[in-house]
Amino acid sequence: MIRLQQVNKWYGAYHALVDVDEHIAKGEVVVICGPSGSGKSTLIRTLNRLEPIQGGHILIDGQDIHAKAMDLNRFRSRIGFVFQQFNLFPHLSVLDNCTLAPIRLRGLKPPQARREAMALLDRVGLAHKADALPANLSGGQQQRVAIARALAMQPPLMLFDEPTSALDPEMVGEVLLVMRDLARDGMTMVVVTHEMGFARDVADRVLFMDQGRVLERAAPEAFFQTPSHPRTQKFLADIRTPFSSAV
Ligand SMILES: Nc1ncnc2c1ncn2[C@@H]1O[C@H](COP(=O)(O)OP(=O)(O)OP(=O)(O)O)[C@@H](O)[C@H]1O
Ligand SMILES: [Mg+2]
């Protein structure tokens, strides 16, 4: 479904993505991990063209998404993207947050959009909050609304960039459970996260990035038990004993 061919990206003189070659199959859940600054956000942002690339190709369903002829708005509206910050429209109710794009971009009639949005809110456990404003929800609830809002565009692909990093610890689980259910329903997902429990339980494959390169890719079991690259081994050791470098 997604094919990255020799993808290279620079920020000015800084080589942020180096020869990235990956295939992601339909229905696959890929977790990207790696140290801060390794290029995880950059990579995921190239997948919906929030970032341009200077070398290589990215094909989604056979279409070169960085080709000049792409209808960018139409393309982007089809890819679900959930960020660290929830980015809900603050002046709109939860329900209206979830119906705005389907009405404007999918051309749904409001009653139909509301029916679909209510079903999605139910799926993320928030149907009872449909009339609330985002400011009156917890962080975990807001992030679940953000996921429902993305799903309302019926995306074939969902991208997540550290969706739980801004949450208080007690709210991380509820968001990861929604993501796990989405994965079990067959959604194709690319997830940047430090939640290694999620990676172990839900991912089909884990990619490890360092300095703009994908250094390792493996099924979770092999990734965690027998990482082959020394940098992966060090990364995993560091996150298992987070204070080791400070002591
Ligand atoms: N807009 C930008 N202009 C210049 N350099 C950038 C820009 N965005 C990112 N970079 C640099 O590119 C590198 C990769 O950044 P990126 O945000 O992709 O890392 P990351 O792996 O997502 O890190 P983190 O775990 O901290 O989110 C970093 O060195 C960063 O400073
Ligand atoms: Mg990042």
pLDDT tens digits along 131-160: 999 999 999 999 999 999 999 999 999 999
Side-chain half-sphere CA neighbours of 3 within 13 A: 8
Average pLDDT over residues 16-22: 98
Q: Which residue has a Cα nearest atom 27 of ligand 1?
A: 36
| Residues 94 and 126 sit within 8 Å (Cβ to Cβ) | yes
How many whole angstroms from 154 Cα to the centroid of ligand 2?
25
pLDDT digits 0-9 by tens, 120-137: 999 999 999 999 999 999
Q: Which atom of ligand 1 is nearest to the CA of 35?
A: 25
Mutate to test the pocket of ligand 1, among 40, 45, 207 (most ligand atoms within 8 A of CB): 40
Going from the C-alpha of 106 to that of each of 110, 146, 234, the distances in angstroms are 11, 18, 46
Ligand 2 centroid vs 131 CA: distance in angstroms?
Answer: 32
Reported pTM: 0.94
Could you tell me the distance, in angstroms and rounded to a whole number, from the CA of residue 39 to the centre of ligand 1?
6
Which residue owns the Cα nearest ligand 1 atom 29?
Answer: 37
Angle, helices 110-123 vs 94-105, to 10°: value is 130
Q: Which atom of ligand 1 is nearest to the CA of 51?
A: 1
The whole-number pLDDT of residue 67 equals 87
Instruction: Give the pLDDT of residue 162.
Output: 97
Ligand 1 centroid to Cα of residue 96, in Å, is 33
Residue 175 structure tokens: 């968001």
Question: Where is pLDDT greater, at 221 or 71?
Answer: 221
Structure confidence at residue 75 (pLDDT): 85
Residue nearest to atom 6 of ligand 1 (CA): 11
Q: What distance in angstroms lies between residue 35's CA and the mean position of ligand 1's atoms?
A: 11
Ligand 1: lining residues by beta carbon, under 6 Å: 11, 14, 16, 34, 36-42
Tens-place pLDDT, residues 70-107: 888 888 888 999 999 888 999 999 999 999 999 999 99
